[in-house]
Amino acid sequence: MNVPQLEAATKSYQLWLDSGDADQRREWLLAYGFDDAKLQSKIKGLNKECEILRRSEYQSESEIIEALLYEDADKLAEIKAKRAEVDQKYPRVSLD
Q: pLDDT tens-digit profile of 7-57? A: 777 788 988 888 888 888 888 888 877 788 888 888 999 999 999 999 999
pLDDT at 1 over 70: no
Residue bearing the bigger pLDDT, 5 or 80: 80
The burial of 90, by beta-carbon neighbours within 10 Å (0-12 exposed, 13-18 middle, 19 or more buried), is given as buried
Residue bearing the bigger pLDDT, 19 or 92: 92
